[in-house]
Amino acid sequence: MAKTAKSHSAETTQVELPPLLPADRHNSRLTLIIKEYLQPDEIALVWKAYRLSKKAHEGQKRSSGEDYITHPVSVACIAARFHLDAASIQAALLHDVVEDTNVSLESIAKQFTPQVAKLVEGLSKLDKIHFDDASHAQAENFRKMLLAMSQDVRVILVKLADRLHNMQTLEHLKPEKRLRIAQETLDIYSPIANRLGLNNLYQELEDLAFRYIHPLRYKTIHKAILAARGNRKEVVGKILDDINSKLQTYQLKAQATGREKNESSIHRKMLKKHTSFSQINDIYAFRIIVEDQGSCYTALGALHSLYKPIAGKFKDYIAIPKANGYQSLHTTLFGPFGTPVEVQIRTESMHNLAEAGVAAHWLYKTKDSHVTQLQQQTNQWLKKLLEMQSDELDSLEFLEHLKIDLFPDEVYVFTPKGKILALPKGSSTVDFAYAVHSDVGNHAVAVKINQELVPLREEIKTGDHIEIITAPLAKPNPAWMNFVITGKARSQIRSYLRSAESNDLVILGYSMLNNALKAFRIDPDLIKKKHWDKLILDYHLKSKEDVLVEIALGKKVNVMVAHQLTNIMDGVKKTKSQSKFLDIITIKGSDDMAIELASCCHPIPGDPILGYINKDRGLIIHTHDCPTIKKYNLDPERWVDVEWEPNADKLYKVSLSVLVANETGMLAKMASAIAQASSNIENVSFDESDGSNFVSINFVVQVKDRIHLAEVIRSLRRISKVSRINRLKTIK
């Protein structure tokens, strides 16, 4: 039997996760737990579910060689520790019977209740569906799981219990499978546990995942902790004595405890600070639990009079709780011998909520308004998941948005009405606008932070007061996709662009497909409706236009689509007059929503160019010598030949750096020369002087093409004091 990961905490938490037990003791262990809170008739239903599960799984073995029934019973024990209701415990016992045995959901609904059947359905694994690859299958699995979770949060609580037991017994699987499951846990399940406030569950999942992903690092840190334990015991004891003495002086009824940080959190700190274990002094943290909220701040004052606080290391999560409902005061102090001392101060109810999160509703049967608020916040977050579901995202996109929203680092900002919103660290004002409401984001034109106008791409910081200015006719800008990070903002912008760009993308996709077809010497006119219908069916799309949009966005490679059409059209005559070379896509400029001029090289008509298909932004135009092409080693299959449309009546920005003698009147002379070349100056800036007789002046000018640019440069060269002129690829 696999052993449970040992907790190195110096204190006993309120929600103790049950240890794994031999098969003949599982039943008695579950009985002891559920007798604490379930009624006799509910316990009878639990054992009815147990008997059905045991009979259904009879003869089945786990990888460890144990009877399979030990797994659902262990999951039920973990779920029961959160005092989940009888229906949840029954679902935990039956969660694998639908997929792995002949028992049907209809049978479960009939023998128990439709509610139990619905929970089991939410917990059941994926049906055997064909996916392009393993990553799509994994993404679709999460998508379905979270959709079920959004309908009933008990699904994810039991699912997390299931994942914890699987992680506790992971040693019996093959190494490659252990690594895949551990990484999956680290990427999705532990962040979800953290997001729901299940602190104990989150920490154990993190530690177990770390053990299997980095086994050598885990063993090294674990040994170092054991070795350091004796050396630091005296220091920890002295700190606890000092804290208790000071709290008594302030006549505070408080419980102070010390706890050892787990291996994964120490590893994260080592990576963050680029230090070795010996340089991590604060492997112990201290927690003070007091009677009421006012006592939290009194205790904080007492600690700050005991040890000096470290500047910038204080956080008040009581006044501004985390998104998962967590409340506590955090401070870091200079302890004895220069040791940093991390302390958390909270009330008993705050501590219960910190350990149990949304499960506190079941575990403590509390009517605390903060727990109710936490449930409302959780429901709002789950509702956002449903909103993303309706945006026609594919599974990988949905998983990408979900991972972003699960990041634990958050900033807290204020709306004009004083409401606090929590967003992921690194969010822009556009992310904030979409967090307020989708319509606010879609119609945003400007923003004020602390009463000052700032760019929409401005990164927000904790404490900012933000006001979004909207206009009825405004619409999302494709460039926003370069800096928004929240799942809601990205999905809403992408959804809008998909509808707004539909015509542009269809035309672009059609042009790209035709090029590929001509490479196969297939006349596009020979593709009939029956051929398209077969292709649409194969791709699980709704229409021909959807296929063309997928090509334009780079989700389908034009050559591969053309090849599949060629196979479908088996026997169709190929044209003899088609050129063996691909037709070139004509670029009119940057006004097409599906076509964007790259900001890394700022091409203008006359520059040799290439097009790169970006799945989020459409076709990106680069110059042939753009350093990005070499730097990022972009997928060669996504490059297409493009050329400028002749006589396009548009103006393009170009940045010029001019080295000129530092004399009076030179700027006026250069401005006049640029005007004589029929160009307009959009911006002027100066590089910092190096003390020489020359100064570097940067102009952003508007030109039609390279020929026009050459005229501007010649006009500037006629000024005798101009020493050097360079075209800059980056607009300053």
Catalytic residues: 99-100
Crossing angle between the packed helical segments 40-56 and 70-81, to the nearest 10 degrees: 150
d(CA 30, CA 75): 10
**For residues 37-54, b (16+ Cβ closer than 10 Å) or e, as one string?**
ebeeeebebbeebbebbb
Shortest CA distance to 130 belongs to which of 464, 521, 463, 540?
540
Q: Are 95 and 89 in contact (CB under 8 A)?
A: no
- Residue holding tokens 């292709």? 535
Q: What is the dihedral of CA 525, 529, 530, 532, to 10 degrees?
A: 80
Q: Are 458 and 478 in contact (CB under 8 A)?
A: no
**For residues 510-523, b (16+ Cβ closer than 10 Å) or e, as one string?**
bbbbbbbbbbeebb
Question: How open is the CA angle 593-598-600, to the nearest 5 degrees?
Answer: 155
d(CA 561, CA 328): 56
d(CA 225, CA 207): 14
d(CA 264, CA 218): 8
Shortest CA distance to 591 belongs to which of 697, 501, 704?
501
> 583: phi > 0 → left, psi -120 to 50 → alpha, else beta; which?
beta
- Residue holding tokens 């042009």? 511
Q: What are phi and psi of 301, to 5 degrees?
A: -60, -40
Which 3 state secondary structure label does DSSP give 8? coil
CA atoms within 13 A on the CB side of 78: 31
Dihedral sign from CA coordinates of 349, 351, 354, 356: negative
* Residue 228 CA: distances (Å) to CA of 281, 303, 427: 10, 25, 40
Shortest CA distance to 526 belongs to which of 482, 562, 575, 484?
575
Shortest CA distance to 138 belongs to which of 400, 361, 379, 357?
400
d(CA 665, CA 663): 6
* Residue 26 CA: distances (Å) to CA of 69, 81, 225: 10, 14, 32
Q: Are 619 and 595 in contact (CB under 8 A)?
A: yes
Question: Given strand 444-449, what is the order of strands in its sheet?
Answer: 452-454, 444-449, 466-470
| Residues in the chain, overall count | 732
d(CA 42, CA 538): 49
Structure tokens at 324: 């998962």
What lies within 8 Å, CB to CB, of 51 at 6+ separation is none
